[in-house]
Chains A and B, each alone.
Chain A
Amino acid sequence: MKWGVVTFPGSLDDGDALYALRDVLGEEAVRLWHKEERLQGVECVLLPGGFSYGDYLRCGAIARFSPIMQSIARFAADGGLVIGTCNGFQILCEAHLLPGALTRNETLSFVCERVVVRVENADTPFTRAAEPGELLHLPIKHGEGRYVAPEDEIRQMEERGQVLLRYVDASGAETRAANPNGSLRGIAGVANQTFNVFGLMPHPEHAVEKSLVGGDDGLKLFRSVIESAR
């Protein structure tokens, strides 16, 4: 399938995302510059991590107004698949394509480590290659990843299955210690109500080769999308 990876000024992980898609997965993937409006016929858009526009004002707040984001909003409204990792997740929240917001980590520290996330809903285009409840080992690296949303909204999201990934410990249990940033209910990744937009703080694009950084669980998420497009 054809992927588009957006590059904003300050994006960092666009190169790794393209590498994961093209070199590891053998997919067709194009770079989408933030000032463009054309999505070049891609079937899935990926918003990478980084510090778009320096993260001035709030993470993702300025990137949301890029020309490409207007096209992506229309693409998502038409059912197109969109994934945002880390800064991409923050942008999708600021653009109201996903519910909630990402705030400063509870500890105030930048966290850079490997975490375990549990697949809470495997019946989505982004998670179908995983088993329900499967544990994925993925890296995180962020200072503002604490997911928040109004309590009643979170309750509804849980009921609808919009929480796709949750931080857990190595045994799969939700513990305070396993939550790296203080996210409400340990939420690591969420989808919109129509399950075609997905945001997550972990970086699947950094976990695509077993020999390199100790895991390739990120491939499960990309393969899910590829399966969905078939």
Chain B
Amino acid sequence: MRIKVFVKPRAGILDPQGRATEGALKSLGFGGVKSVHIGRYIELELDASSVAAAEAAARKMCEQLLANPLIEDYRFEIEGA
């Protein structure tokens, strides 16, 4: 199964990369841009017996390594189930 993990800075945590990019977009004339947040996209292939097992594994991976729950939020999608 393919797992797609999306990690982004938690709401309320300063995201200077997002802020700098927001400023750049505005200076390009995209005045409607309200906010930009920059995170990380991780794609992995996993051998798992069921979607539930893949979900449980993905959650553990995120909590233990792929995201730092103190400063980041994550979500994931499972494909090929």
Q: B-contacting residues of A (Cβ < 8 Å)?
A: 57-58, 61, 65, 94, 100-101, 103-108, 146, 148-150, 182
A100 touches B66 (CB 8 A): no
B20 touches A146 (CB 8 A): no
A148 touches B71 (CB 8 A): yes
B70 touches A149 (CB 8 A): yes
User: Which stretch of B10-18, B28-36, B43-51, B73-81 is in the interface?
Assistant: B10-18
A61 touches B65 (CB 8 A): yes
Nearest A-chain residue to B20, judged by Cβ: A108
- Docked Cα-Cα span, A89 to B17, in Å, equals 22
Q: A-contacting residues of B (Cβ < 8 Å)?
A: 13-14, 16-17, 20, 65-66, 68, 70-71
- Docked Cα-Cα span, A58 to B70, in Å, equals 13
B14 touches A146 (CB 8 A): yes
Known pairs A148-B14, A148-B70 / 15 extra A-B pairs, C-beta < 8 Å = A57-B65, A57-B66, A61-B65, A65-B65, A94-B68, A100-B70, A101-B70, A101-B71, A103-B13, A103-B71, A104-B16, A106-B14, A108-B17, A108-B20, A182-B14
Instruction: Give every chain A residue within 8 A of B68 (Cβ-Cβ).
Output: 58, 61, 94, 101
10 A-B pairs with C-beta separation under 8 A: A57-B66, A58-B68, A65-B65, A101-B70, A103-B71, A104-B17, A105-B16, A108-B16, A148-B13, A182-B14
A150 touches B70 (CB 8 A): yes
